[in-house]
């Protein structure tokens, strides 16, 4: 029986690592896209030992550098005939305003734009694999506002949490667009909230932002618990009719009203194409 081929970002720690392990145990061939190759190889060896599945691979990819996203996709296209599951799991929150390698605000680049480019490059593989695309969003999207006229924060004071909330809203926009645009080609897309999970997420925060994260720790769940909805979406049968939906606790959940704004969703798509154009 052929392997299910799964590509996942952010799999060296937290819910991404738990997701990769669970899918490896289910005999998926797992391709981990990582920005720290030393850590990636160490995690790969750990997952092989725990899962007894040798079909785990590591490819360099830094979502804050579109060149590496393109290069990682080229490696996958040269190695694979199809991809069955793509899990856009990696994310980040940054205390201070930072720019990506291409000069874009880093929260937007890491949480949305890098994954957007990855999907564009992998479309032939995704179509052949009748793939599920799974985007890890967050309930933080409810606080997010579409900042499509000021993605670079030129007209307002940068806020780590506002930037992150907006990016998580964009994850849902992206999911809905994928379902609409590529559903006729057999590709499905799902967004999810993993829960408030105790991981190293936000470890670079400082000052008041770090304090807020610390105060939330007692209410957080384990990475294994946080991975369950992602695992469900990667493996559950007969969920194609729910493509484009947002999930929480392995069930469809309502989003904020802002997340249903089709005009903003289409604008985000157009902006993303323009930003990624040199690397398409």
Greatest alpha-carbon span in the chain: 55
Pinpoint the alpha helices (H) of 80-137. Answer: 106-108, 114-128
pLDDT surpassing 60 at residue 107: yes
Interval 249-270 mean pLDDT: 98
Residue 207: Cβ within 10 Å count = 10
Residue whose entry in the numeric block shows the structure tokens 């994260």: 213
3-state SS, residue 133: strand
pLDDT value at residue 222: 84
**How far apart are the C-alpha atoms of 58 and 56, rounded to whole Å?**
7
| 188, 243 Cβ separation under 8 angstroms | yes
pLDDT surpassing 50 at residue 199: no
pLDDT value at residue 265: 98
Residues 6+ apart with CB under 8 A from 251: none
Q: What is the DSSP letter of 123?
A: H
Q: Which of 10-19, 30-39, 112-121, 190-199 has the least mean pLDDT? A: 190-199
| 81, 128 Cβ separation under 8 angstroms | yes
Catalytic one of 31, 164, 170, 182: 164
pLDDT value at residue 186: 97
Domains (range + CATH), the chain: 4-279 (3.40.50.720)
Residues 6+ apart with CB under 8 A from 103: none
97 an active-site residue? Answer: no
Of 155, 170, 64, whose CA–CA distance to 118 is shortest? 64
pLDDT surpassing 90 at residue 125: yes
């Amino acid at each position: 029986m052929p392997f299910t081929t799964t590509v996942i970002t952010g799999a060296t720690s937290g819910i991404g690592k738990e997701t990769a392990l669970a899918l490896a145990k289910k005999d998926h061939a797992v391709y981990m896209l990582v920005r720290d190759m030393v850590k990636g190889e160490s995690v790969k060896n750990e997952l092989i030992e725990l899962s007894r599945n040798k079909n785990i691979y590591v490819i360099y990819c830094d979502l804050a550098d579109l060149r590496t996203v393109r290069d990682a996709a080229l490696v996958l296209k040269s190695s694979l005939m199809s991809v069955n599951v793509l899990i856009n799991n990696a994310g980040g929150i940054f205390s201070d305003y930072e720019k990506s390698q291409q000069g874009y605000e880093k929260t937007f680049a890491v949480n949305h734009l890098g994954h957007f480019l990855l999907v564009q490059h992998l479309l032939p593989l995704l179509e052949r694999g009748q793939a599920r695309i799974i985007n890890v969003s967050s309930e933080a999207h409810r606080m997010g506002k579409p900042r499509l006229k000021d993605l670079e924060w030129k007209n307002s004071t940068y806020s780590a949490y506002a930037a992150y909330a907006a990016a998580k809203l964009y994850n849902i926009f992206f999911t809905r667009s994928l379902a609409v645009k590529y559903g006729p080609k057999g590709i499905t897309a799902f967004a999810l909230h993993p829960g408030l999970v105790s991981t190293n997420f936000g470890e670079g925060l400082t000052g008041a932002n770090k304090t807020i994260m610390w105060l939330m720790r007692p209410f957080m769940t384990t990475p294994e618990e946080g991975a369950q909805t992602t695992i469900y979406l990667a493996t559950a049968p007969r969920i194609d009719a729910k493509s484009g939906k947002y999930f929480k606790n392995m069930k469809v959940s309502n989003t904020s009203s802002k997340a249903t704004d089709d005009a903003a969703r289409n604008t985000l798509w157009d902006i993303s194409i323009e930003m990624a154009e040199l690397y398409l």
